[in-house]
Amino acid sequence: MNGFEHRVPTTAALLSGSPKAGEVRQVEHLAAALGRAAERVREYQRLLVHAEGTAASARSAAVSALREKVRHRLLGGAELVREAIDAAMGALQRYASHVHHLHREADRTVRELDDERHTIGEAMGRISEISQVIGVRQALVWNAVPPGRMPDPMLGDAALTLTADEREAARHMLSARYDEEWLHVIARWHAALEQTRAQRDRHRALVEEREAAERDVVRGCEQTPLGHLLAFAQGDTVPAKVIAVGLTGEHRGDLATVGRVSNTHPLLFALLGRQNGGDVWSANRAPAAVAAAWAALTPHEQETLIRVVPGVIGNLVGLDASVRDRANRLHLAALRERAHLLRPDQLQLLGETQRILSRADAQVDERGIAAPPIQLLALHLAGDVPMAAVVYGDADRAVSTTWVVPGMDNDAPAALGAIDEASLNVYDAQRFRAGDDSAPAVVAWVSYDTPGRPDEGDLGVLSSASAMVGARRLAAELDGMFTARAAAGRDAGVVSVLSHSYGTTVASIALTKVQHPVDRLVMLGSAGLDPAQVPSLDALRVATLWPGQRAVFTTHASADQLAPLGAALGGRAQPNPDATTLLNLQLHSPVIGGALVFSSEGNTDLGLLPTDGHSLLGEGDQPSPLGIRASSGHGYLDPRTQSLSTIASLTAGHIDTQLARSLLRTETARVEYVTDIQSGIMLPERKRVAL
């Protein structure tokens, strides 16, 4: 080791974090332990089946009750446990393989980084030696490579007695002796420094890969019926009771009670015109009538309905969000006592919902306030597809309210986790755009039966049937919130609908049905608008920015080739006439003009990223073929994207001059300029070419 190597930071100092998490052997031992547990559960199941068969010939009431318990509760509960163990074991085995890869790559990175550090130290030492010989002072820093051209030699005092020709000859001799070596050493130093940076980048990537692997193994354990049950149990003071009830229908010998969940009460007649509110989701009374009837009840009567029929009150449009939130939380608590009666998809939704509520509760415990506060606006389990709506903020008092309407393959049980993240991104971006003192609310509206994926055999996305049903509920919710705020003496603030993919089909139909116009409609990667329901944008109940221009905004990332395919195959009108798909071929969907287009292609000057696929949130290192899925950080609602930055401005009601000038009104071909009468800003307008 030369005297300069100590000037290069140690390997430990150069690397942050560790990709090495646990030992492969430890993970494999845990997976093996789970395997043994799974076998014990299977043995338990075999014993239960044997016990039921043994008791088959008995006729007493007690034995019959025991057989019923074995068949419908114990066997089912054991199967849930076995499935969860098998899933966890598989996740751990995959994780063990990943850990082995991470350890191998991390060790290789450290070895190579040590070699590069040694090379840099040697280069620094040799450059220092040459510098001394040629009489040049050099302040050497390990990560600042000197120029490749050697400095001119300085002969010093010893050369004062030499003639000018002799000094020139001496300098020439030194240059000839060391020039080439200097260049060679500098090249090695530079290459080693580049490799050092590459190894540090590789190390950071491995740390991120380890974190992703850890998330995957946790998700693999969570995404089972037992995992959802465990999440659901977080909100109970005795979670063991919820788990026991979910698996066996009883806790310590006490059978679960299900009578607390009811849809019927005489006082409902005043609100609904009937005593049974089981169909309140699809058969709403006019929100204004509900609000007036609710106000006419005494506080005691209101409290009675909240406690006795929480599932009805929690989904009743026309009531304050705070009232519905309280009712839905009580409904959630009541459902814990009937967990054994719930379907896996219902349990999955309740587990995700409880996770969101528990996160906010933990923030209150730690900071005294949730950031943002959470309201459970809807919780509907009665249909074929469980549904929910979660508010981030205070929907009763928000200055701006944004309704997030997702597209296909986003039914609430599986999608709430992702829509939760996307909605929080919108909320945070609005706060950043409008200031910390702003009071936005964002509604994650996963409240319709979304079509499945065509590649999995579901062609519902090509029809507007799901959109029609969802639109009726969305229109009722929008009118209901307007009515509830008006009944409390508060205006609605800025109300926006932010829709994605097939959600634009839903939202556009809903906005033909609302009684009260919204302030903004924003469409992301539209899968098309049904021309039978929305013949033009003038059919939408959306406010105008200025005469002749409705506040309808649309964007389509050029890499997103899925959205225009859906519009074309479904025969729906495309609000993004330049959208292309299938190797950039235009599929000539009907064009619906008049929206204001904003870009999702990124803005390097502002440090904003492009959207490179169809999804709201990206995942993976690369976008998928045809842009079906965006890459990590490059979805429409990922932080630091141009699309999210613009959306935050539009939905918060802050359209500055720069943004206004970037908007392009869609028709078809030629660009001309029109003037916003109110602000005097010149806006580009796409005009139809006369044939």
Considering only CA atoms, which of 255, 274, 256 is closest in space to residue 264? 274
User: For the residues 273-286, what does the mean pLDDT come to?
Assistant: 90
Cis ω on the peptide bond leading into residue 517 (within 30° of 0)?
A: no
Given this model, what pLDDT does residue 496 score? 98
pTM of the predicted structure, to 2 decimals: 0.79
User: How high is the pLDDT of residue 564?
Assistant: 82
pLDDT classification of 398: cutoffs 50, 70, 90: very high
SS3 at position 546: strand
CA 625 vs. chain centroid, Å, equals 21
Task: Give the chain's length.
Answer: 691
Q: Residue 585 has what pLDDT?
A: 47
Average pLDDT over residues 249-253: 68
Does 583 score more than 70 pLDDT?
no
Compute the half-sphere exposure of residue 231: CA atoms within 13 Å on the CB side of its CA: 25
DSSP code, position 555 = E
Say if strands 670-675 and 682-687 run parallel, antiparallel, or are unpaired: antiparallel
| Token output for 458 | 């579901």
pLDDT of res. 376? 98
Q: In degrees rounded to 5, what are phi and psi of residue 4?
A: -100, -15
pLDDT digits (tens, 9 = 90+) for 447-499: 999 998 776 666 777 889 999 999 999 999 999 999 999 999 999 999 999 99
Is the model more confident about 591 or about 484? Answer: 484
Q: Percent of the chain scored above 90 by pLDDT?
A: 55
Q: What is the pLDDT of residue 587?
A: 57
pLDDT at position 141 is 92
Which residues contact residue 424 at a Cβ distance below 8 angstroms, ignoring those fewer than 6 apart?
372, 392, 442
Average pLDDT over residues 345-350: 91
> Are the CB atoms for 89 and 38 separated by under 8 Å?
yes
Confidence band for 553, pLDDT divided at 50, 70 and 90: very high
Burial pattern 284-315, b for ≥16 Cβ within 10 A else e, equals bbebbebbebbeeeeeeebeebbebbbbbbbb
The 10s digit of each residue's pLDDT in 531-544 is: 999 999 999 999 99
> 567 by DSSP, 3-state: which?
helix
pLDDT of residue 688: 38
Separation between Cα atoms, residue 225 and residue 84, nearest integer Å: 7
pLDDT band at 586 (very low <50, low <70, confident <90, very high): very low
* Mean pLDDT computed over 270-279: 93
Confidence of residue 239 (pLDDT cuts 50, 70, 90): confident
Distant-in-sequence, close-in-space partners of 343: CB < 8 Å, separation ≥ 6: none
Under 8 Å between Cβ of 407 and 501: yes
Q: With 70 as the cut, is the pLDDT of residue 250 above it?
A: yes
Which has the minimum average pLDDT: 67-71, 162-166, 176-180, 388-392? 67-71
List of residues 6+ apart from 436 with CB closer than 8 A: none
Higher pLDDT, 507 or 139: 507
Tens-digit pLDDT profile for residues 656-690: 888 888 898 887 443 344 455 455 554 544 443 33
Beta strands in 84-207 (DSSP E): none
The residue that leads in pLDDT, 677 or 251, is 251
Residue ranges of domains in the chain, CATH in brackets: 5-223 (1.20.1270), 372-691 (3.40.50)
pLDDT digits (tens, 9 = 90+) for 609-622: 999 999 999 988 88
**What's the pLDDT tens digit per position in 99-149?**
888 889 999 999 999 999 999 999 999 999 999 988 888 889 999 999 999
Tell me, what's the pLDDT at 571? Answer: 84
Distance CA 224, CA 347 (A): 10
Give the amino acid at 487: A
- Mean pLDDT along residues 610-635: 90
pLDDT at 255 over 80: no
- What pLDDT is recorded for position 208? 86
Give the pLDDT confidence of 190-200 residue by residue, as tens digits. Answer: 999 999 999 99
Q: Which residue has the tokens 């620094």?
A: 124
**Do the beta carbons of residue 476 and residue 514 sit within 8 Å?**
no
Residue by residue, DSSP assigns 94-120 as HHHHHHHHHHHHHHHHHHHHHHHHHHH
Q: How confident is the model at residue 88 (pLDDT cuts 50, 70, 90)?
A: confident
Q: Can you read off the two tokens belonging to residue 313? A: 């009150």
Tell me which residue has tokens 């609710």: 294
When pLDDT is averaged across residues 159-166 and rounded to a whole number, the result is 80
- List the structure tokens of 134: 């040629």
CA–CA dist 479, 474 (Å, integer): 9
Asked if residue 430 lies in contact with residue 651, where contact means CB atoms within 8 angstroms, the answer is: yes
> What integer best gives the mean pLDDT of the chain?
87
**Mean pLDDT of the 359-379 span:** 94
